[in-house]
A and B are shown apart, each in its own frame.
Chain A
Amino acid sequence: MDAMSLQRNKIHPHKYSLWIAMGSITMMFIGFTSAYVVKRAQANWFTFQLPFIFWISTAVILTSSATIQMAVEQFRNRNMQRYKQLITLTAILGVAFAACQWIGFKQMTDMGLPLNGPASVSFIYVIVSVHLLHVLGGVVALLIMFGRAFRTRVRTYSAVPIEVAATYWHFVDGLWIYLLIFLSIAR
């Protein structure tokens, strides 16, 4: 067992993979935002206000980051009841975030800024929805974790899956804040 406990200092390969994956996703959004910057430098760039609801969705996703972090703590303390409640809450907040973004799209369309409008508008739709897909991927992962928490035949004591999920969740949260700041400043 001594050898085992020594090994725990080593980073788990799945966590490592997650970090590389996050680098990869970051590159994708660097691709989008550089395209945005290049396009913005050209003539006839159309500027407009982002819908206010994007700031509400920011509050929602920030809250969900807090709840998933609490879920990790509860899991470590083997407080499974609270853990299940917290990951459910996180998943619900994730869906609420999606709903906010969707309402934001609707508001933009109603304001006369449709997807096939000027490129600056189209960029918002594309970047926000690709980010949203990544959040929804996180929601799916949480649903799987939720299903696992109810298994009785095979019981999980490893915190690695929930830690991986939580790191990813914080990442898409941070990514959204970066995107929002970027899109607000570089208008």
Chain B
Amino acid sequence: MSNEATLHSQEVIHGAHAHDHGHDDHEHHHEGGFISKYVFSLDHKTIAKQFLITGIIWAIIGAFFSVLFRLQLGFPDATFPWLESILGHWAKGGRITPEAYYALVTMHGTILVFFVLTAGLSGTFSNLLIPLQVGARDMASPLMNCMSYWAFFLASVVMMTSLFVQTGPASGGWTAYPPLSALGDASIGSKIGMDLWLISMALFVVSQLLGGLNYISTILNMRTKGMTMTKMPLTIWSFFFTAILGVLSFPVLLSGFILLLFDRHAGTSFYLSDLFVAGKALSNEGGSAILYQHLFWFLGHPEVYIIILPAMGMVSEILAVNSRKPIFGYLAMVGSMFAIVILAFLVWAHHMFVTGLNPFLGAFFVLLTLLIAVPSAIKVFNWITTIWKGNLRFTPGMLFAIGFVSTFISGGLTGIWLGNSSIDIHLHDTYFVIAHFHIVMGVSAFFGTFAGVYHWYPKLFGRYLNNTIAYIHFWITLIGAYLIFWPMHYEGMAGMPRRYYDYSSWESFKQFTDLNHFISVVVIVVFAAQLMFVFNFFYSIFKGRKVTSTNPWSATTLEWTTPINPGHGNWIGEIPEVYRWPYDYSKNGKDFIPQTVPLSPDEEKEGH
């Protein structure tokens, strides 16, 4: 009740609709029409579902794009007539054109990094879990929360539109480096598609900021009685740090984009200098393309932690619940996440070692980059010690959480190589980089997302996902992910550059023809497995096995004290009070003790 008092006590004296803020009938209000319940809903749980389903749709599109360009990479000489029927002149004669290839690669990166793993992942679970796990009726500002989703929706509409314009979507890479992205004459992907990309991304930043503000002020202000910061589940800590990273780094990206828009349309020269396009010299002078890279990577690097931190938080929670053991090193987990947040802002130039960066300066960025290995290793150690000798329950969520730890280790280790500026000279822009970031960021974050979806699906929809499909989904995805990305390390070490359209014409890379062929086949299989998950997801909303107990996983956290299908307001009656941290598993002969159970006299003596 405490927070509601703060929120509403000073508010308006209502004339006609005074019942709106009656505190006891939260179960019943906002049961209005379809529009206010499902479309412009203010309920954080509905907004979470909106983010999730929009994210799933984008994930299908983004992953399908990767299947298309893998067809080109794996079968450079083959033709697929059906491609022409879906892509038209972008695949004349059944072979993807170079322009289409770059467009597909660019959109694959943009969609997955921003629309799926940022909005779809932290948008979904921050919205769902923050109010439920800290004990709040809703976000600090439900209206801003709703606006956050609809800004994301608008960004999605604009990005989707750009796929259908005549000159195609942006195709200068997801990083949109100038001068390619700044000059409409430089390539067809730099025309209207690039403008739509920038507009869409600006809307996306707005969405992230509105969401992030809400997450932070909800966590700091709206916790229920007894929920001190150190009694919060690690999920909440991770969403908190994610939001801080987003709120501080996305505005810098926006300022970079604003300057880029001026360069494109107002004739300014922030990023442009001494350029010749189509044989003509441009009048732009004195700009610096490197400046954009600094602004971009100042967001770009925190962005990878924006993606991975929520996954880390959810994995910590799921591992503890399904090992029936307290998380190992709670404060070390929080401290290492804090260290990651600080370091995230200090390492951006490791993306720019080969831009002519002063090697002396580069040495500091190497050192700071390698320092990230310390908090990462602490977290990995703690996850492993959490499941060590635990009473493991291999639910699908648990399997994906363990899979996350596996991919995070194998992808994280290659980061130590790439963080060295001297090794990076050889490996920069090769398939080694692709392998590294796909495993450590892409696959791991997806595993975190899947773990979260399987674990909290009962809370989202009051039903379970089908377990058999879930196990098939897990094993194909885990094995497939390694089969796809592991070989890419070898290709990268052999110097195979990324972003090339056809490797078969290069003497040095002909040896990889069969390997590329193999990777592409696995990509298709893994994509099919993801479609099985999508089927499972939508089928189970309506036909899944019903949840019969409010706490199906025997977990300690507050979201499992709500009704199976909570209404807007989450709890009927008073919000429960919290007395203990969220990891009291297998304690004093009890399997688990919910956070809402007061300390026993013995425990109080221990000075908990």
Q: Which residues of A contact B (CB under 8 A)?
A: 3-4, 7-8, 10-14, 16-17, 20-21, 23-25, 27-32, 34-35, 38-39, 42-44, 115-116, 118-119, 122-123, 126, 130, 153-160
Contacts and interface: CB of A to CB of B under 8 A. Distances in A.
Given A3-B2, A17-B144, A115-B267, 5 more contacts: A7-B9, A35-B294, A115-B262, A119-B270, A122-B266
B255 interface: yes
Interface stretch (B64-72, B212-220, B506-514): B212-220
Given A27-B251, A31-B251, A7 B2 contact: yes
A85 to B, nearest CB: 22
B251 A28 contact: yes
Interface in B125-141: 140-141
A155 B14 CA distance: 7
A34 B288 CA distance: 13
B9 A116 contact: no
Contacts of A160: 10-11
Given A39-B270, A154-B13, A11 B258 contact: no
Nearest to A15: B217
Given A27-B251, A28-B254, A16 B13 contact: no
B5 A7 contact: yes
Contacts of B286: 42-44, 118-119
A154 B142 CA distance: 20
- B interface secondary structure, majority: helix
A119 B247 contact: no
A159 B10 contact: yes
6 contacts: A20-B212, A27-B249, A34-B294, A35-B259, A115-B267, A160-B10
Contact of A13 (B212, B222, B253): B222
B221 A3 contact: no
Given A17-B140, A17-B217, A24-B247, A157 B255 contact: no
A8 B5 CA distance: 9
A32 B7 CA distance: 35
Contacts of B288: 38-39, 42
Contacts of A155: 12-13, 15
B391 interface: no
A24 B251 contact: yes
B298 interface: yes
B262 A31 contact: no
Q: Which 4 pairs from chain A and chain B are nearest by CB?
A: A116-B267, A28-B251, A31-B255, A31-B252
Interface in B212-267: 212-214, 216-218, 220-222, 247-256, 258-259, 262, 266-267
B269 interface: yes
Nearest to A10: B6
B268 interface: yes
A27 B252 contact: yes
Most buried by B among A7, A12, A38: A7
A12 B251 CA distance: 24
Most buried by A among B6, B16, B216: B6
A94 B601 CA distance: 62
Nearest to B251: A28
Contacts of A159: 10
A30 B285 CA distance: 24
